Amino acid sequence: MAGNSTEYIKHHLTNMTYGRLPEGYVREIDGVQTVLDAPTWTLAHGATEAAAMGFSAIHVDSIGWSVGLGMMFCLLFWFVARKATAGVPGRLQAFVETLVEFVDTNVKDTYHGKSALIAPLALTIFVWIFLMNFMDLIPVDFLPVFAAWIGSTFFGADPAHVYFKVVPTTDPNVTLGMSISVFFLIIFFSIRMKGAIGFTKELTLNPFNHWLLIPFNFVLEAIGLLTKPVSLGLRLFGNLYAGELIFILIALMYTGSIALGLLGVGLHIVWAVFHILVITLQAFVFMMLTIVYLSMASETH
């Protein structure tokens, strides 16, 4: 059972990866080994093959779900804006207006510069990340089993080799990709508001305004600047990855005795209710830190 449990956890935490296996790579599928006589683009049959693909690997499930949820967010808000009325709003319009007002209030209270980009950016970050986090509340076996059925029925794939993670924010590539985008915005706003020379002075003459301490200042400022996207991305990833892992461990309880299964149902409900707060809070924290970082980048000394 321990071995099966380990395989179950690894399977659920492995992404559907598409990439290029190098020439000479030895693939082993169902006990049969084959040597690739040329570089081959294919879906990885496990974490080992995914690692062998290197930087060319693409997490198909993470990209698919993140892009799909982003499009759903855009279409939903476009639909509400198109159908918006000046009279008594419907429930959906009232909900969207409340959400927009909530984000706008936080932007006005936190961002002290002037930019038409900050409020739409903050709204996009909050809703998009919340939707990606919300996928964690779907039962852990539902979509992966469905994907395995599609793979085996229509493509003849071995269900054991069909990997399908449905929570994009449990993939560090997604969370760090978003945080690196925020990092580039920080650089852009810093140069835009202070100029290239002013931004350079900020990196080299803070906290000690003396030319002899420029190397020391630069190291301190560079570390502070680079830790922002790293901490922003890893915080979101760590919280959602831990939450997903707990759901998987609870799901394993259903394979035990009846008493253990009933206990698992209770724990599942309790953790799901608590996790609603977690996914909302993590989306809010990412949004607020982005606003704060961009506000700091817009300040002049």
In the chain, where are the structural domains located?
86-298
Q: What crossing angle do the helices spanning 60-83 and 91-110 adopt, rounded to 10°?
A: 110
Note the pLDDT tens digit of each residue in 185-239.
Answer: 999 999 998 889 988 998 898 888 888 888 998 999 999 999 999 999 999 999 9
The arithmetic mean of pLDDT across residues 90-110, rounded, is: 92
68 pLDDT band, cuts 50/70/90, is: very high
**Catalytic residue flag (residue 235):** yes
Bridge partner residues of 58 (DSSP): 18
**Catalytic residue flag (residue 217):** no
Q: Which one of the listed residues 133, 231, 257, 298 is annotated catalytic?
A: 231
The arithmetic mean of pLDDT across residues 48-70, rounded, is: 93
Check pLDDT > 60 for residue 1: no
Q: Could you tell me the sign of the dihedral formed by the alpha carbons of 292, 298, 300, 301, in that order? A: positive
Note the pLDDT tens digit of each residue in 241-267.
Answer: 999 999 999 999 988 888 888 999 999
Check pLDDT > 60 for residue 38: yes
DSSP string of 37-85?
SS-EEEE-SSHHHHHHHGGG-EEHHHHHHHHHHHHHHHHHHHHHHHH--
**Catalytic residue flag (residue 231):** yes
Structural element, H or E, at residue 286: helix 258-298
Check pLDDT > 50 for residue 62: yes
Task: Calculate the average pLDDT of the chain.
Answer: 91
Check pLDDT > 60 for residue 2: no
The arithmetic mean of pLDDT across residues 38-52, rounded, is: 91
pTM score, two decimals? Answer: 0.92
Q: Which one of the listed residues 66, 133, 179, 239 is annotated catalytic?
A: 239
